[in-house]
């Protein structure tokens, strides 16, 4: 009898210990891969999310991430190698010319929509389509939340010096701010509503103006979406069209729920409602990437835009990175990158540096050094403006931020948050 009790209690004890151990195990948030790995060629980590259909993005969703092959190399680097070796850019340019000749207008009307902000990439895209390939582009800008001075200046120069037409579309600020606030607190993804509108504006304007061709600059496969997506020049329609409007989510809250508060009506959502797939197909709208047809090099876009569209780099270094010319038009932008640092352990510098390693501007060692130096820098300059924009206090900001730190990425050490793993292998859990 005593022996049976003994065996039972030991078994029970073992079970309890196992349970405790299981509970203590670092559960990765967002369904991210448990083990943090860094690409052997560039500096990106396997936590980097792929592009998602943003208006389906809701709280607790499992994220699709960049793929690493068996050699520990990320898909962006793999694609890059292909780009170098196997693609014939002469053939691709021929394809571009053929494509454009199908859409080129003969009556002076616009024949291609180029969405963009006048940053180096869209500046290059629009200018080269007009002045090299003889198209008649209409550039359309989905307004940044809060224009920086340099961003506004570059946008204006795009028109005045670059010689292009533009429509600037600014959504209702009251709704946009509320969505952004929700997106920040529910998803730690303040840019989510912005991205919804940004993806839609190209096809939406195309439909409005009776233009069939929409041309973006770079393809996200450059940065790690599935390679298969880059063998196709056409953007997947799911990104910008929906068959179920009322359930489109903004900041994790559905359109239906916003309307139910009584503050908004369906009218307010016009900028965010994706055109219906069948309407786009009927109108013959196609969305292409110029990066499929021309060998894409963001640094060369910088030189081109300085020389042709009056682009100017920021006079100061952008916080969180070493660069001065990438993505400098929105004061909220630094918080987009800061939140990716919190959620995925990689910040703005990692993105910039990884791209420059692939394009042979810097070595992996240099990239790792830069990441160590800048990746975790807090964007102080526009912090107060951001807090005002999302109508939150500093305490609320940090509360939300800390809630989203996945335990498999972050460790609290003496009241400070530290990365468990970084590309220089000096994280708290890295074996030195």
Partner 1 sequence: MNKIRIIARLDIKNDYVIKGIHLEGLRKVGNPNEMAIRYYNQGVDEIIFMDAVAAYYDRNSLSEIIEMTCKDVFVPITVGGGIRKIEDIQTALNAGADKTAINTAAVRNPNFIKEASEIFGSQCIVASIDAKKIANNKWEVYVDNGREPTGKDVLEWAKEVESLGAGEIMITSIDKEGTKRGYDLELNKLISELVSIPIISSGGAGSKEHISDVIKNTNIDAVSIASVFHYNIETVDSLKEYLINEKKIQIRL
Q: Are 323 and 317 in contact (CB under 8 A)?
A: yes
In the complex, least distance from residue 161 CB atom to partner 1, rounded to whole angstroms: 12
Distances (CA, A) of 353 to 208, 302, 341, 347, 421: 39, 16, 14, 10, 17
Question: Alpha helix locations (H) across 375-432?
Answer: 383-389, 394-403
Q: Check residue 295 for interaction with partner 1 (CB under 8 A).
A: no
In the complex, least distance from residue 312 CB atom to partner 1, rounded to whole angstroms: 7
In the complex, least distance from residue 279 CB atom to partner 1, rounded to whole angstroms: 42
Q: Check residue 160 for interaction with partner 1 (CB under 8 A).
A: no
In the complex, least distance from residue 359 CB atom to partner 1, rounded to whole angstroms: 10
Cα 19 from chain centroid (whole Å) = 39
**249 half-sphere exposure, CB direction, 13 A CA radius:** 17
In the complex, least distance from residue 317 CB atom to partner 1, rounded to whole angstroms: 4
In the complex, least distance from residue 130 CB atom to partner 1, rounded to whole angstroms: 22
Q: Are 154 and 310 in contact (CB under 8 A)?
A: yes
Q: Check residue 268 for interaction with partner 1 (CB under 8 A).
A: no
In the complex, least distance from residue 261 CB atom to partner 1, rounded to whole angstroms: 45
Closest to 360 measured CA to CA, from 41, 40, 39: 41
In the complex with partner 1, the residue whose CB is nearer, 54 or 352, is 352
Q: Check residue 361 for interaction with partner 1 (CB under 8 A).
A: yes
Write each residue from 91 to 120 as x if it is in contact with partner 1 (CB under 8 A), else as -, in one continuous string: ------------------------------
- Tell me the C-alpha distance between 272 and 248, whole Å: 9
- Tell me the C-alpha distance between 61 and 59, whole Å: 5
Among 108, 262, 315, 415, interactor with partner 1 by CB under 8 A: 315
How many residues bind partner 1 (CB under 8 A)? The answer is 22
In the complex with partner 1, the residue whose CB is nearer, 230 or 355, is 355
Q: Is 73 helix (H, G, I), strand (E, B) or coil?
A: coil
In the complex, least distance from residue 350 CB atom to partner 1, rounded to whole angstroms: 15
How far is it between the farthest Cα atoms of the chain? 98
- Tell me the C-alpha distance between 34 and 397, whole Å: 26
In the complex with partner 1, the residue whose CB is nearer, 247 or 299, is 299
- Of 12-20, 197-205, 319-327, 377-385, which segment contacts partner 1 by CB under 8 A? 319-327
Among 157, 257, 300, 430, interactor with partner 1 by CB under 8 A: 300
Q: Is 2 helix (H, G, I), strand (E, B) or coil?
A: helix
- Tell me the C-alpha distance between 156 and 117, whole Å: 10
- Tell me the C-alpha distance between 52 and 238, whole Å: 10
Question: Alpha helix locations (H) across 104-233?
Answer: 120-131, 149-160, 173-182, 192-209
Residues 370-399 that bind partner 1 (CB under 8 A): 370, 373
Write each residue from 46 to 85 as x if it is in contact with partner 1 (CB under 8 A), else as -, in one continuous string: ----------------------------------------
Write each residue from 325 to 354 as x if it is in contact with partner 1 (CB under 8 A), else as -, in one continuous string: x-----------------------------
In the complex, least distance from residue 267 CB atom to partner 1, rounded to whole angstroms: 44
Among 255, 313, 341, 354, interactor with partner 1 by CB under 8 A: 313
Taking the CB of residue 291, how many other CB atoms lie within 10 A of it? 23
Among 52, 67, 247, 312, interactor with partner 1 by CB under 8 A: 312
Q: What is the dihedral of CA 119, 122, 128, 130, to 10 degrees?
A: -110
Structure tokens belonging to residue 269 = 């959502």
- Tell me the C-alpha distance between 353 and 240, whole Å: 29
Q: Check residue 324 for interaction with partner 1 (CB under 8 A).
A: yes
Q: Is 356 helix (H, G, I), strand (E, B) or coil?
A: helix
- Of 6-14, 102-110, 190-198, 359-367, which segment contacts partner 1 by CB under 8 A? 359-367
In the complex, least distance from residue 331 CB atom to partner 1, rounded to whole angstroms: 18
- Tell me the C-alpha distance between 223 and 51, whole Å: 10
Distances (CA, A) of 225 to 53, 59, 219, 265, 350: 13, 22, 9, 36, 16
- Of 19-27, 62-70, 131-139, 311-319, which segment contacts partner 1 by CB under 8 A? 311-319
In the complex with partner 1, the residue whose CB is nearer, 20 or 316, is 316
Among 157, 268, 366, 429, interactor with partner 1 by CB under 8 A: 366
Contacts with partner 1 by CB under 8 A lie at 299-300, 302-303, 306-307, 312-313, 315-317, 322-325, 361-363, 366, 369-370, 373
């Amino acid at each position: 009898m005593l022996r049976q009790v003994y065996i039972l209690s030991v078994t029970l004890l073992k079970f309890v210990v196992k349970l405790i151990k299981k509970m203590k195990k670092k559960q990765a948030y967002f369904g991210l891969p448990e083990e943090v790995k860094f690409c052997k060629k560039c500096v990106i980590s396997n936590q980097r999310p792929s592009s998602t259909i943003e208006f389906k993005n809701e709280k607790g969703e499992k994220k699709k991430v960049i793929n690493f092959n068996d050699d520990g190399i990320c898909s962006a680097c793999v694609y890059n190698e292909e780009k170098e070796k196997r693609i014939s850019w002469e053939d691709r340019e021929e394809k571009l010319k053929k494509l454009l000749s199908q859409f080129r207008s003969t009556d002076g009307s616009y024949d291609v929509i180029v969405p963009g902000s006048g940053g180096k990439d869209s500046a290059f895209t629009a200018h080269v389509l007009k002045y090299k390939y003889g198209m008649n582009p209409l550039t359309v800008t989905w307004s940044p939340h809060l224009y920086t001075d340099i961003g506004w200046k570059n946008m204006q120069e795009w028109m005045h010096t670059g010689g292009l037409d533009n429509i600037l579309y600014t959504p209702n600020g009251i709704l946009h701010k509320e969505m952004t606030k929700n997106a920040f607190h529910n998803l730690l993804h303040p840019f989510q509503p912005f991205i919804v509108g940004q993806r839609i504006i190209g096809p939406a304007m195309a439909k409005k103006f009776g233009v069939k061709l929409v041309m973006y600059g770079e393809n996200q496969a450059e940065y790690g979406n599935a390679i298969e997506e880059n063998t196709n020049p056409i953007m997947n329609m799911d990104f910008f069209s929906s068959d179920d409007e009322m359930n489109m989510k903004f900041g994790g809250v559905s359109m239906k729920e916003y309307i139910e508060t009584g503050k908004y009506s369906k009218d307010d959502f016009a900028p965010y409602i994706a055109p219906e797939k069948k309407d786009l197909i009927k109108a013959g709208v196609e969305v292409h990437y110029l990066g499929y047809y021309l060998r894409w090099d963001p640094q060369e876009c910088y030189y081109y835009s300085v020389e042709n569209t009056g682009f100017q780099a920021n006079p100061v270094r952008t916080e969180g990175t070493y660069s001065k010319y990438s993505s400098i038009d929105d004061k909220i932008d630094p918080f987009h990158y800061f939140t990716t640092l919190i959620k995925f352990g990689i910040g703005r510098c990692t993105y910039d540096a990884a791209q420059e390693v692939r394009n042979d501007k810097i070595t992996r060692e240099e990239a790792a050094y830069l990441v160590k130096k800048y990746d975790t820098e807090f964007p102080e300059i526009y912090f107060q403006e951001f807090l005002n924009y999302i109508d939150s206090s500093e305490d609320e900001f940090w509360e939300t931020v800390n809630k989203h730190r996945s335990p498999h990425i972050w460790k609290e050490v003496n009241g400070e948050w530290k990365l468990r793993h970084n590309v220089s292998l000096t994280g708290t859990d890295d074996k030195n």
